[in-house]
Amino acid sequence: MGTLKLFSIPRTGTYLGILVLIGAAGGDQPLPALTPNAAIAAMVNAVDANRLKASVETLVAFGTRNDFSETQSTETHGVFAARDWIAGQFRSIAAGTGGRMSVALDTYLQPKTPRTPRAVTESSVIATLRGDAPGRLYVMSSHFDDCDGRCTDGVGVEPGADDNASSVAAVLEAARVMTSTHFKGTIIFAAFDGEELGLWGSNHYAHELAAARAPVLAVLNNDIIGNSVGGDGESEPDVIRVFSQGLPAGTNVDAVNLVGSENDSPSRELSRFIAEVVPLYVPNFTVRQIFRSDRFMRGGDQQSFQAVGYAAAIRFVEAHENFTHQHQDVRMQGGVQYGDLPQYIDAQYLRRATQANVAALATLALGPAPPTGVQMPLEHLGYTSTLRWTPAAGAVSYEILWRATDAPQWQHARDVGDVTQSTVHVSKDDYILGVRSVDANGLRSPAVYPTALRE
Ligand SMILES: [Zn+2]
């Protein structure tokens, strides 16, 4: 590292053509062994299983959170009673933040659609924890509406414990353990309405963010994260799935095929980041990266963000689902209990799922901004790869990452110091390369895949 300092480039944002050529071809340098950050570990360890369980039970006790229960909502029953309770929880958390956190409802009238009997009022709860640095916004989301066998039934009993009181509980708990910390990035804790009927609440809110050109750098959506035993008996209580999108909306497929970047969307880089960070803070808890945007032919609120151009969005889902509990009328049939009941929530699993969110979200919002304007030129045919970038706020150095084209996760890293350009003796024909920021505390940003250009 000492010699590399000689090559440090002033952080002017210009691309100075200083060559730092180090290393031998291929995979000589493993990823660095990261160590937990004490402040983040304290937040992760503060996540409380009993509070999570209590939040789920309170949400279930509203009887139904179906959108069409809105006209019959009382103080203790129906979707808007649940919404008001969630908003009240956020307000009590915000009260201790000295004005850094604000709580708002995102309310609008959703017109009747071919699937729905009438227009219905949608109302999402949005809590915003203001960060100290501009230009960085991170979202942790859930949905609080629910569904029985008929998603337009506003009258039936619809507990919705796992889908999706589990995630609302996680978002509330994350806000509880994180708000005493001053983050660089702004964090939005969201509980969306109308997911079950067409991602309505998240779609409305994502459009508002896009219209305001809000700089959303990552979305961690949570949907069905509290059950640890699948309906087929399979159980992996130390695994959570992260679903990530392949190609962002509007992708030029020819440009992707020219360089083979089909597995390096911002959503995939966020997934890799989460898979690396979570085991640091949640011992023996593993992220299973699923390289598709959601379960087969299904969807979730992360897609509302992806659709408006916020490509770095993923979905957390428990490792094994139980389909006799999801979107089912509560009943006994053939000796089987149907319905999304709170007794099937594993509070310890939900705790680990929440901790995974807190670890990733806190690292994103506390750590360095990712480098921007990352480019990899093809100047001439050769045996090396050059990356250059615009410096990132909070970064004290950068790491070039690379992996084999058929490897799911980054395999190698090299600290290239506080520079804005570096050349490594790694073939861009045979490997995929990216770059990430490193701050003074050793926190890393997600990797950024370079834009290819011919010079
Ligand atoms: Zn759901």
As beta bridge partners, residue 404 has 431
What's the rounded mean pLDDT across residues 125-153? 95
* Residue 117 or residue 15, greater confidence: 117
CB 363 within 8 A of CB 187: no
How would you class 100 by CB atoms within 10 Å of its CB: exposed for 0-12, middle for 13-18, buried for 19 or more? middle
Residues of the chain above pLDDT 70, percent: 94
Q: Does residue 24 register a pLDDT over 90?
A: no
Instruction: For residue 292, give both structure tokens.
Output: 């598709």
Distance CA 185, CA 294 (A): 27
Can you give the pLDDT at residue 150?
86
What's the rounded mean pLDDT across residues 148-161? 92
Q: How far does residue 224's CA lie from ligand 1's centre (Å)?
A: 6
Distance CA 167, CA 187 (A): 16
CATH top-level class for 4-30+370-454?
Answer: mainly beta
Confidence of residue 19 (pLDDT cuts 50, 70, 90): very low
Confidence of residue 455 (pLDDT cuts 50, 70, 90): confident
Nearest C-alpha neighbor of 358 from the set 83, 37, 32, 50: 37
In degrees and rounded to multiples of 5, residue 39 shows phi and psi of -65, -40
Lowest mean pLDDT among 11-15, 153-157, 263-267, 427-431: 11-15
Query: What b/e string do you get for 110-131 counting C-beta neighbours within 10 Å, with b at 16 or more?
Result: beeeeebeeebebbbbbbbbeb
Q: How far does residue 163's CA lie from ligand 1's centre (Å)?
A: 5
Q: What are the sequence ranges of the domains in the chain?
A: 4-30+370-454, 39-366
CB 295 within 8 A of CB 214: no
As beta bridge partners, residue 401 has 413, 434
Per-residue pLDDT tens over the stretch 205-244: 999 999 999 999 999 999 999 999 999 999 999 999 999 9
Protein residues placing their CB within 5 Å of the ion ligand 1: 163-164, 223
Q: Does residue 27 register a pLDDT over 80?
A: no
Distance CA 387, CA 428 (A): 11
Q: How far does residue 122's CA lie from ligand 1's centre (Å)?
A: 16
Confidence of residue 6 (pLDDT cuts 50, 70, 90): very low
Residues of the chain above pLDDT 90, percent: 90
What's the rounded mean pLDDT across residues 361-375? 98
**Strands of the sheet with 395-404, listed across from one edge:** 412-417, 395-404, 431-439
Q: How far does residue 272's CA lie from ligand 1's centre (Å)?
A: 23
Q: Does residue 104 register a pLDDT over 90?
A: yes
What's the rounded mean pLDDT across residues 357-382? 95
Confidence of residue 10 (pLDDT cuts 50, 70, 90): very low
Confidence of residue 18 (pLDDT cuts 50, 70, 90): very low
Q: How far does residue 43's CA lie from ligand 1's centre (Å)?
A: 26
Q: Does residue 7 register a pLDDT over 70?
A: no
Instruction: For residue 278, give both structure tokens.
Output: 């979570």
Q: Kind of pairing, strands 313-318 and 216-222?
A: parallel
Q: Where are the beta strands (DSSP E) in 130-210?
A: 137-143, 186-192
Can you give the pLDDT at residue 28?
62
Instruction: For residue 324, give both structure tokens.
Output: 């006799």
Confidence of residue 29 (pLDDT cuts 50, 70, 90): confident
Q: Does residue 3 register a pLDDT over 70?
A: no
Q: Does residue 74 register a pLDDT over 90?
A: yes
Q: Does residue 324 register a pLDDT over 50?
A: yes
Q: How far does residue 56's CA lie from ligand 1's centre (Å)?
A: 14
Q: How far does residue 294's CA lie from ligand 1's centre (Å)?
A: 12
**What is the gyration radius of the CA atoms in the chain, in angstroms?**
23
Can you give the pLDDT at residue 9?
37
Q: How far does residue 304's CA lie from ligand 1's centre (Å)?
A: 14
Task: Answer whether the bond into residue 164 is a cis peptide, omega within 30°.
Answer: yes
C-alpha triplet 198, 321, 168: angle, nearest 5° = 55
Q: How far does residue 286's CA lie from ligand 1's centre (Å)?
A: 22
Instruction: For residue 289, give both structure tokens.
Output: 């990266």
What's the rounded mean pLDDT across residues 426-437? 97
* Residue 102 or residue 73, greater confidence: 102
What's the rounded mean pLDDT across residues 74-84? 97
Q: How far does residue 221's CA lie from ligand 1's centre (Å)?
A: 10
Q: How far apart are the first and last CA of the chain?
A: 30
What's the rounded mean pLDDT across residues 67-82? 95
Which helix H or strand E contains 41, and what residues bound it? helix 38-45
Q: How far does residue 244's CA lie from ligand 1's centre (Å)?
A: 16
Q: Does residue 335 register a pLDDT over 60?
A: yes
Cβ-based neighbour number of residue 194 at 10 Å: 25
Q: Does residue 21 register a pLDDT over 60?
A: no
Q: How far does residue 223's CA lie from ligand 1's centre (Å)?
A: 5
Distance CA 422, CA 393 (A): 19
Confidence of residue 381 (pLDDT cuts 50, 70, 90): confident
Specify whether domain 39-366 bears CATH 3.40.630.10: yes
Residue 229, amino acid: V
Q: How far does residue 167's CA lie from ligand 1's centre (Å)?
A: 9
DSSP for 299-368? --THHHHHHTT---EEEEEESS--TTTTT--SEEETTEEES--GGG--HHHHHHHHHHHHHHHHHHHHSP
Q: How far does residue 269's CA lie from ligand 1's centre (Å)?
A: 24
Distance CA 426, CA 107 (A): 52
Q: How far does residue 147's CA lie from ligand 1's centre (Å)?
A: 9
Distance CA 166, CA 162 (A): 5
Distance CA 432, CA 406 (A): 9
Confidence of residue 313 (pLDDT cuts 50, 70, 90): very high
Q: How far does residue 285's CA lie from ligand 1's centre (Å)?
A: 23
Q: How far does residue 41's CA lie from ligand 1's centre (Å)?
A: 29
Per-residue pLDDT tens over the stretch 168-198: 999 999 999 999 999 999 999 999 999 999 9
pTM higher than 0.85: yes
Instruction: For residue 63, give both structure tokens.
Output: 């009887």
Task: Report residue 401 CA to chain centroid gap.
Answer: 21
Q: How far does residue 77's CA lie from ligand 1's centre (Å)?
A: 20
Torsion of CA 32, 36, 37, 39, to 10 degrees: 170
Q: How far does residue 130's CA lie from ligand 1's centre (Å)?
A: 27
